[in-house]
Amino acid sequence: MSSAFKGITTPSGIAEAVAPPAMQAPAAVAAAWVLERQGDTLLRRWSRAWGAFWLKYLFWHATHVPSVVEFTKPFFMFFVWWWGPKLRDNVIANARRMLGPGSTEAQQVQLAKRIIGNFYSFVYEVGRSLTLTPEGLRTQIDSIEGDDVYVAARAAGRGAILVTAHMGSFEVGVAALRDREEKIHVVFQRDRMPQFERLRTRLRQRLGVIEAPVDDGWTIWLRLRDALHRNEVVLMQGDRVMPGQKGRRVPFFDGHVMLPTGPIKLAMASGAPIVPLFAVKTPGGKVRISVEEPIYVEQSPDAADAALLKLAGLYERYVRQYPEQWFVMQRAWCEDQESAEQGRNGQQA
């Protein structure tokens, strides 16, 4: 196996670690405040079950009857907001970081509601996309910025590692790529909710992309390296690590987040450029695709650190510009994860 997949030393001090599972957030309303002090009570279990029910409702109807999802959004928002304290508090914590220390609690809550509402709309649109052809999806594109940058990066014939974020409209971005790329390998981790995973799998099949689940182990990365050597394209979301994946702690806004090292190591192993690409929704409901300058990673630890910091800077720029479109439902900042863990340990003591 290539040494690029065995780990890279980090003399510049960017810490590499394995991402922990998502942590329980403290409650923000009076009822949840009581629950935190009563342990795993019947009311807490009911709250979790009710929140899970609405998520399953969303994913099932998005797959089978997307029109129902469109009209029941207010009900979903009400129940998830009041009966899903973990998700709600996670998103509020992220909103607090994005808005900065000068923001008010009301502003943070407003942004958190917009994020959850947009995520709901995103799932609905994924379900609706199952009824559209790739050509129909491409009609939703408003504009493509940086197309010449993409063409130049592909002209080298070394493949391309396209990195994006959990943001905007992923499926429309893929449809745009399929218009010019014969083979696209989509890197992902299987979702813990089977309803959502089945929805995503059906959409990938309809778009004609090749699935590359990282759950299957290190052989996936060798397969991706070989695909790049054949001048094919690899697409992955690189703005957060999944539980069990390796990542590095990098500066982000006024704190730090963990970013996955997979894109960097794959670039070093294959020689392919990293091409950042973002598909964000416009006020008119269409999608604007932006291609950023490619990042070439040399065979050195310093180059790896520099590339990861450059990606972090790009993610921060887009999240600052489109905070309501960043669909990260876990606590993204390391400091907030650590604070929640300390609070949980204090309650158990």
How many CB atoms neighbour CB 202 within 10 A?
Answer: 15
Mean pLDDT of 250-258: 97
Q: Rounded to whole angstroms, how far apart are CA atoms 104 and 85?
A: 20
pLDDT in tens, 215-241: 888 899 999 999 999 999 999 999 998
Q: What is the pLDDT of residues 86-143, one digit of tens each?
A: 889 999 999 999 999 999 999 999 999 999 999 888 887 877 787 788 888 889 999 9
User: DSSP code of 242?
Assistant: P
| DSSP string over 1-46 | --GGGS----TT--EEEEPPPP-PPPP-SHHHHHHHHH-S-HHHHH
Q: In what order do the strands lie in the sheet with 255-260?
A: 15-18, 246-252, 255-260
Q: Let me know: does 175 contact 137? Beta carbons within 8 Å.
A: yes
- Asked whether the beta carbons of 206 and 126 are under 8 A apart, the reply is no
Is the pTM higher than 0.85? The answer reads no
Mean pLDDT for 265-284 is: 96
Average pLDDT, the chain: 83
Q: How far apart are CA 315 and CA 346, in angstroms?
A: 34
Q: Shortest CA distance to 41 belongs to which of 30, 32, 28?
A: 32
Residue 274's nearest CA partner among 286, 285, 287, 265 is 265
Spans of all domains in the chain? 3-19+137-325, 30-130+338-348
Residues 6+ apart with CB under 8 A from 275: 149, 150, 153, 160, 161, 162, 163, 291, 292, 294, 295
What's the DSSP call for residue 55? H
